[in-house]
Amino acid sequence: QQKVQQSPESLIVPEGGMASLNCTFSDRNSQYFWWYRQHSGEGPKALMSIFSNGDKKEGRFTAHLNKASLHVSLHIKDSQPSDSALYFCAVTPSNSAGNKLTFGIGTRVLVRP
Amino acid sequence: GALVYQYPRRTICKSGTSMRMECQAVGFQATSVAWYRQSPQKTFELIALSTVNSAIKYEQNFTQEKFPISHPNLSFSSMTVLNAYLEDRGLYLCGAREGASSDYTFGSGTRLLVI
């Protein structure tokens, strides 16, 4: 059974600073990785996905994947107060329709103005 | 863009009664629909995954008898919480996606309070 763990549980970052979120997974067959962001009172929204080892940059967000180490991370550069939210790492073994997405417990990010 | 609407947004039901929640996909075809529950202090627990032309797969600890799901077409799904008790409280999220190459789009959830 896939286990997805995230750290830290919560993070306070000054505005303009860098937030770094970590995620480890247990199933070596995992192929697809997502970061979701959830603001209070809303459902989670997909922030970015990463499928290959290495870095993937989208604007201020960079995801890093190392399948051999069973590790994926998200880095938020120049953090803004609007980045304050719950961030979830989600993993699926493949992208076929029948495969489920397993979520971590989340990291709560607070960006202080 | 792809959107998922869930309703009601929040509901209160008496212990032992049942409550139905609905999920509407707009702008794409929901070939897969996943129902999750997000409880306080817990992450998303997958209840079941429904894929067109396949049987609905329930996760351990969740059964069709307790959480019957309908996925009659590519834009709609519903789930009922039968005989709800306190431990069923939480935010029920519907996530839908089209095909195998896209991410899940989630609705804002139905928050269930049982009294």
Indicate yes or no: CB of A101 within 8 angstroms of CB of B99.
Answer: no
- Out of A43, A46, A96, name the one closest to residue B108 (CB): A43
Per-residue pLDDT, A96: 60
Query: Is A96 at the interface with chain B, CB within 8 A?
Result: yes
Q: pLDDT tens digits for B59-101?
A: 999 999 999 999 999 999 999 999 999 999 999 999 999 876 6
What residues of A are in contact with residue B106 (Cβ under 8 Å)?
Answer: 36, 43-45
Q: What is the DSSP secondary-structure string of A61-104? A: EEEEEETTTTEEEEEESS--GGG-EEEEEEEES-SSTTPPPEE-
Per-residue pLDDT, B27: 95
Helix (H, G, I), strand (E, B) or coil at B87: helix
Q: How many Cβ atoms sit within 10 Å of the Cβ of residue B21?
A: 22
- Out of A42, A46, A103, name the one closest to residue B44 (CB): A103
Instruction: Report the alpha-carbon distance of residue B86 to residue B46 in Å, rounded.
Output: 19
What count of CB pairs under 8 Å joins A to B? 55
E strand or H helix that includes residue A9: none
Instruction: Report the alpha-carbon distance of residue B89 to residue B85 in Å, rounded.
Output: 7
Q: pLDDT tens digits for A65-112?
A: 999 999 999 999 999 999 999 999 999 876 565 678 899 999 999 999
Cα separation values, B26 from B2, B67, B74, B76, B110, Å: 6, 24, 10, 9, 17
Is the pLDDT at B105 greater than 90, yes or no?
A: yes
What mean pLDDT comes out for the span B14-19? 97
Query: Is A35 at the interface with chain B, CB within 8 A?
Result: no
Indicate yes or no: CB of A95 within 8 angstroms of CB of B107.
Answer: no
Query: Is A48 at the interface with chain B, CB within 8 A?
Result: no
